[in-house]
Amino acid sequence: MSYSLFYENVTACDECDLLHRIPPLTVGERFKCVRCNCVLLNVHKHAAPRLLGMAFSSLLMLFFALIFPFLGFSSSGFERDITLYNMVTVLILQDNLILSIIISLALFVFPIVYLSAILGLALSFHNRYLTVSLKRYLIRWIIVIQPWLMVDVFLVGILVALVKMNSLADIELGLSFLAFCAYVIFLLKTVSLVDRRWLWNKVAGPGPNHVISENLESARNQSLIGCHFCGATLDGAACHCSRCGHSVHSRRPQSLVSTIAFLIASVVMFIPANFFPIMQTTFLGMTESSTIIGGVFLLWSLGSYPVAIVIFLASVVIPIAKIVSLSWLCWQYYYPTERELLQKIWLYRMTEVVGRWSMIDVFVVAVLTGLVQMGNFISILPGPAVLSFAAVVILTILAAKTFDPRLLWDKNKAIKPTLLEKNE
């Protein structure tokens, strides 16, 4: 049985700044921006108990993934078993501290903090044992960490690493591997259930109410500011959100300057990332280095065409496409073309979605380093390019996060009919 839910009736779109009156929604409905199709509110069925169950299941599966053997490696009588924890310790022992920190954050720290915050909030919905102030901090952590969750990318990196080693050795999947797959599935489902506006309404109540014009206009044109952190709408003179406490701005300060700076830095790091070797393989006492492109050619020559295409797309095409796309979007602010704005917003959304998948190659190197350590017989170590490439991925993600898509709409007046859809 569906029922109506109350939310603040005025909110501003995060991507085009258009003000909306949100109607009462029933369970299973989503409300979209009438101009750019951005999802503003998603009302999931039994959201609180499902979040509790998924977050707890994710943490439980992660615990099992840590205590049992993860992967086994055997070749010419040599055998080796590793756990997820071993992947980090091997990197530290090989003097790759920065890479071990990146792997630890992506694999353990960020997901555990994120899931723990979700678990605490979901429990507090019923028991009310947390203060509103503490709940606000938990939601802040959830919002900040969510874009940096990459366990699904790490899982694909493991599969690519197994394909690479399949011709050199026998690989055995441990119990932890199955637990890790379940952990990834539960975590992704948890992320899909999180709606920022729903969480803030649940914890801190509706934001300030406003009387707005019947005409569809941006928040800036009506002397209002939409909080980019919780979705509340505030008076134009406000400096901090009265609901979440976050600083608010009509447009992100120095948005284009920050984006361009990150893009320039990523271009600079992209050169050594492709020029220097990303991995060094020792086999029978002989060491061979391979670059990103060299690894793609090797996989192609071995007949692993799908894996070669995945690595080429993730490590070469996506970083270049993201740099070019964001550069073009910055150019469009100063010299706009007649191209449909919805196409530009779609391009921006794609840069946010696909950018983190470039980390596949970094994770592949980390997995192979932890797994293949048999002295002069066969061993794999990260090359000098791995940190440069990780920097490229991180910098392009930051470039997309600092870009303010609302700038593209400031001179546009195109409005579409309202969109109210059912959840899939």
Residue 296 has φ and ψ, to the nearest 5°, of -65, -45
Q: Are 255 and 264 in contact (CB under 8 A)?
A: no
Question: What torsion do the CA atoms of 382, 388, 390, 392 make, to the nearest 10 degrees?
Answer: -160
Q: Note the pLDDT tens digit of each residue in 140-160.
A: 899 999 999 999 999 998 888
> Positive or negative CA dihedral for 120, 125, 131, 136?
positive
Rounded Cα gap, residues 408 and 111, in angstroms = 33
> Residue 126: in which H helix or E strand, if any?
helix 110-127
Strands (E) located in 320-403: 373-374, 378-382
Rounded Cα gap, residues 71 and 172, in angstroms = 6
Instruction: Return the ∠ at Cα 228 (arms to 226 and 231), rounded to 5°.
Output: 60
Q: Note the pLDDT tens digit of each residue in 259-288.
A: 999 999 999 999 999 889 888 777 666 777
Q: How many CA atoms lie within 13 A of 138 on its CB side?
A: 24
The total number of residues shown for the chain amounts to 424
Rounded Cα gap, residues 240 and 355, in angstroms = 30
Question: Which of 183, 149, 157 has the alpha carbon at shortest distance from 68?
Answer: 183
Rounded Cα gap, residues 121 and 123, in angstroms = 5
- Extract the tokens encoding 200: 């803030």
pLDDT for 37? 87
Ordered by start, the domain boundaries in the chain are 1-45+206-237, 253-409
> Positive or negative CA dihedral for 235, 240, 245, 250?
positive
Whole-number percent of the chain with pLDDT over 70: 89
Q: Are 145 and 113 in contact (CB under 8 A)?
A: yes
pLDDT mean by block of 10 residues, the chain; 424 residues: 50 87 79 86 84 93 89 71 83 86 91 93 77 84 92 90 74 86 94 88 78 76 86 84 85 91 95 87 72 81 78 88 93 80 88 87 86 71 88 94 89 48 47
One CATH from 1.20.140, 2.60.120, 1.20.1530, 1.10.260 for 253-409: 1.20.140
pLDDT for 163? 80
> Residue 73: in which H helix or E strand, if any?
strand 71-75
